[in-house]
Amino acid sequence: MAQMFPVLFRIGPLTFHTYGLMAAAAVLLGARMAIHIAGRAGCKGPEVEESFYTLLLHLVLGGIIGARILYAATHWHEFSGDLFGVFRIWEGGLVSFGGLAGALAGFAIWQKSQKWIGWKESLDILAAPMALGQAVGRLGCLAAGCCYGRPADFPWTVTFSRPDSLAPLGIRLHPTQVYEFLILSAIGGFTFFRMEKGGRQRPKGRLFADYVILYGIGRFLVDFFRGDEPLAWGLTPGQHGSLVLLAAALIFRRVNART
């Protein structure tokens, strides 16, 4: 039985969820990495750091809103008797595709006020931080029991036992959160080292496109092991989202290579 501790501790009426802690850690990791990468790209100074922390706020707010909206839309049965539950994001329940869409919307709002850097360069700087931030966030999913896998009978399965977990209890499941953590960590490392080893000499925007392509492929494969119900053609909502991401990123990469 896996003791994942969705709730770390309580102090009076305050409840501290592991999911929220991991989300905060993901945000801080992403911010510091983005500032480091920007500095290596020649963008330094207090004004640059301030600008990236402003971007961080846009990404976090946009990402949380987008991720929660998509989760609520695809899991509406969970909130049919408790509409205010939609706002209790600290209990878990965010969809990464909605988060990515919301974060990009927040990025677009931020980028409009930035004259010192182009939007493609900004996206390349964000590729590794976003991937690694997502990876840390998946550990929060594991703790909360959301995004759980299908029943399985393998040595590496996970069984949730705490009643406050979002996963089915007492059933051996694929640890899909761990699968995504490993994939996203690899993508984050790959894009980071490519940026460090001459990524700025490549067409601007390519690193971010590569991140989206790799994540789309990884998520499509992981969803074969997730507990989500198929939406159409035997594919889960996540797999449909993966195909949209792949198509958009491949088109952007091809068009961008010609400019």
User: Among 191, 210, 190, which Cα is nearest to 257's?
Assistant: 210
Instruction: State yes or no: pLDDT of 19 exceeds 60.
Output: yes
Distance of CA 100 to the CA centre of its chain: 7
Helices (H), 13-45: 18-40
pLDDT band at 212 (very low <50, low <70, confident <90, very high): very high
Instruction: State yes or no: pLDDT of 140 exceeds 70.
Output: yes
State the pLDDT at residue 90: 61
Q: What is the mean pLDDT of residues 161-170?
A: 86
Instruction: State yes or no: pLDDT of 91 exceeds 70.
Output: no
Instruction: State yes or no: pLDDT of 137 exceeds 90.
Output: no
Specify the higher pLDDT residue, 60 or 160. 160
Percent of all residues in the chain with a pLDDT value above 70, rounded to a whole number? 93
pLDDT band at 180 (very low <50, low <70, confident <90, very high): very high
State the pLDDT at residue 191: 93
pTM score: 0.84
Residue 168 has phi, psi (to 5 degrees) of -60, 140
For 69-90, write each residue's pLDDT tens digit: 877 777 777 777 777 777 776 6
- The span from the CA of 259 to the CA of 227, in Å, is 42
Q: Mean pLDDT across the chain, nearest whole number?
A: 84
Specify the higher pLDDT residue, 160 or 52. 160
pLDDT band at 4 (very low <50, low <70, confident <90, very high): low
- The span from the CA of 9 to the CA of 178, in Å, is 23
The residues, any chain, with a CB within 8 Å of residue 257's CB and separated by 6 or more, are 203, 206
State the pLDDT at residue 159: 92
Say how many Å lie between the first and final Cα of the chain, rounded. 54
The residues, any chain, with a CB within 8 Å of residue 46's CB and separated by 6 or more, are none
Question: In b/e form, how buried is each residue of 51-84, taking b as 16+ CB within 10 angstroms?
Answer: bbeebbebbbebbbbbbbbbbbebeeeebeeeee
State the pLDDT at residue 74: 72
Instruction: State yes or no: pLDDT of 246 exceeds 60.
Output: yes
For 30-40, write each residue's pLDDT tens digit: 888 888 888 88
State the pLDDT at residue 56: 82
State the pLDDT at residue 218: 96
- The span from the CA of 88 to the CA of 90, in Å, is 6
Q: Which of 48-57, 136-145, 198-207 has the highest mean pLDDT?
A: 136-145
